[in-house]
Amino acid sequence: MSRTGSAWRSQVAIAGYALSPIERHSSRSLGDLAVETGLAAILDAGLRKEDIDGFTTGSHLPSAGGHALVDGLSIVSSNWISERLGIRPRWLSGFQGHGQLPGSVMLAVNALAAGAADYVLLHRALANPAARYHENPMTLASGGSQWTAPNGMWGPVAQIALPYNEYMQRYAATREEMATVVVELRKNAARIPWAYWHDRPITIEDYLNARIIADPISILDCDIPIEGVGAFVLTRAHRARDLPNKPVYLSGFGQGTPSAVGSTRHWTLDEIMESAQVTCDQLWASSGLNVSDVDLPQLYDGFSPFIYFWLEALGYCPIGEAHEFVQGGAIATGGPAPVASGGGALGNGRLHGIPQLLECYLQLSQRAGERQIANANVGLACHSSPHYGGVVLCTADQI
Amino acid sequence: MQDNPASDFGDAEGHAHMDNVGRPLPVPDQSSEGFWAAASDHVLAIQHCGHCDNAAHPPVIVCSACLSPDSEFDFRPISGTGRMRTWTVIQDPFLPGFRAEVPYIIADVEFDDVPDVRMVARLTIDGEAPLVIGAPTETTFEDVASGIALPRFRLLRG
Residue B143's CB is within 10 A of a number of other CB atoms, namely 12
Q: How far is B81 from chain A (nearest CA, A)?
A: 18
* CA angle (A220 as vertex; A214, A221 as ends), nearest 5: 60
* B21/A139 Cβ within 8 A: yes
Confidence at residue A259, expressed as pLDDT on a 0 to 100 scale: 78
**Residue A209 forms contact with B (CB below 8 Å):** no
**Residue A136 forms contact with B (CB below 8 Å):** yes
d(C-alpha A135, C-alpha B143), whole Å: 25
Residues of A in contact with B15 (CB under 8 A): 130-132
Rg for chain A (alpha carbons), in Å?
20
* A211/B24 Cβ within 8 A: no
Torsion angle of C-alpha atoms A213, A218, A223, A226, degrees rounded to 10? 50
* B12/A157 Cβ within 8 A: no
Q: pLDDT for B2-38, tens place per residue?
A: 333 333 333 333 333 333 357 999 999 999 999 999 9
d(C-alpha B134, C-alpha A174), whole Å: 19
Q: pLDDT for B57-91, tens place per residue?
A: 999 999 999 999 999 999 999 999 999 999 999 99
**Residue A337 forms contact with B (CB below 8 Å):** no
Q: How far apart are the first and last CA of chain A?
A: 7
Q: Which residue of A has its CA nearest to B89?
A: A215
ipTM (interface predicted TM)? 0.90
* Regions of chain A where pLDDT drops below 50: 1-2
Q: How far is B134 from chain A (nearest CA, A)?
A: 11
**Residue A372 forms contact with B (CB below 8 Å):** no
* B120/A265 Cβ within 8 A: yes
Residues of B in contact with A261 (CB under 8 A): 56, 58, 60, 64
When CB atoms are compared, the residue of A149, A214, A259 closest to B88 is A214
d(C-alpha B2, C-alpha A207), whole Å: 30
Q: How far is C-alpha B127 from the geometric centre of its chain's CA atoms? A: 21
Residues B38, B136: contact at Cβ < 8 Å?
Answer: no
d(C-alpha A176, C-alpha A346), whole Å: 17
Q: How far is B152 from chain A (nearest CA, A)?
A: 9
Q: pTM score > 0.90 for this model?
A: yes
**Any idea where the domains of chain A sit in the sequence?**
12-129+223-395
Confidence at residue A315, expressed as pLDDT on a 0 to 100 scale: 97
**Residue A153 forms contact with B (CB below 8 Å):** yes
Residues of A in contact with B49 (CB under 8 A): none
d(C-alpha A203, C-alpha A224), whole Å: 17
Q: How far is B63 from chain A (nearest CA, A)?
A: 12
Q: Buried b vs exposed e over B111-139: b needs ≥16 C-beta within 10 Å?
A: beebeebbbbbbbeeeeeeebeeebbbbb
List, in sequence order, every beta strand (DSSP E) within A79-149.
91-92, 119-126, 140-141
Q: Which residue of B has its CA nearest to A264?
A: B58
Q: pLDDT for B108-129, tens place per residue?
A: 999 999 988 999 999 998 777 7
Which CATH number applies to A12-129+223-395: 3.40.47.10, 3.30.2290.10, 3.20.20.70, 3.90.105.10?
3.40.47.10
* A152/B133 Cβ within 8 A: no
* B87/A165 Cβ within 8 A: yes
**Mean per-residue pLDDT over chain A, rounded:** 93
